[in-house]
Amino acid sequence: FATPLRKMPIALINKEKQEKMDSLVSEISSLYKLKYEFEQIWHEISEEYRNGTISFEKLILDDKIKIQNGEFEKLWISNIKTFSYDEEEGPIRKFQKFFVFGCEKNRFQIYGILDKKEVLLLDIETTQKEFRDIVYLEVFRLLNSRKIVNTLKDVLSKTIISTIRPNIWEKTSNLLKYTKTKFEEWKSNNDINIELEDLIFINNRIQELEVKVEVLVFEIYDIPKKDIMTILDITSTFKNTKDKILSNFK
């Protein structure tokens, strides 16, 4: 979790809070298992059935050309917003870490971590939900690999997207559709009844539940808000997570 609360002395917990904690931890554990399985199925399906690849960087450049030529029906990326954070270094500015966050309306965002703060770098919208999910999966795979990723340019050039050619906008989404089919089969074979849309839903739900666990632990120890702020600062908790936790305390 975001803070090292597990190192704190054991506190006596009433039955209601204990049951709530058990429920949260159980759901988080189940979601991590589902997340791992979805990722594995995607990796297997995408690598087995693709017949081409394209870097995220080239996909963006190609789609810009398609917009200039009026080939809107061939687009993956319909809109991309770049947020200026350093005019001199731009996309080669080094960050300590990156993460990708899925949003509604076929959107996802890429953040860099700099001096304990999240910096929004890109906000991307795709023409289809499947395209958003595929790019998200491939960026997520890169950021969780052992590859060295220091700059936004690294993220864009080293993210390799599985495609089905010759026209990648026509049939590539079938890779994701088949992944979801196999994932549903796996869930059925393992008697798992949790309804899940995609990996974005799983990741966002895990983050939401982990915040609830942190809040519950702070409540159990009856820690004042000012001390909670100190703990979160010391443990370098991301600002977005910190704000969500603190919003539960007066």
Distance CA 84, CA 212 (A): 33
Distance CA 42, CA 140 (A): 12
- Domain locations along the chain: 5-42+193-246, 53-170
For residue 90, give the 3-state DSSP assignment: helix
| Cα 70 versus chain centre, distance | 32
- pLDDT tens for each residue of 139-184: 999 999 999 999 999 999 999 999 999 999 999 999 999 999 999 9
Positive or negative torsion for Cα 9, 12, 17, 21: positive
Closest among 242, 238, 236, 194 to 218, alpha carbons compared: 242
Q: How confident is the model at residue 116 (pLDDT cuts 50, 70, 90)?
A: confident
- pLDDT tens for each residue of 66-102: 999 999 999 999 999 988 665 556 677 899 999 999 9
**Highest-confidence range of 5-19, 81-95, 130-144, 181-195, by mean pLDDT?**
130-144
Question: Furthest-apart CA pair in the chain: how many Å?
Answer: 67
pLDDT of residue 65: 97
Phi, psi dihedrals of residue 97, rounded to the nearest 5°: -165, 160
Closest among 214, 215, 227, 221 to 11, alpha carbons compared: 221
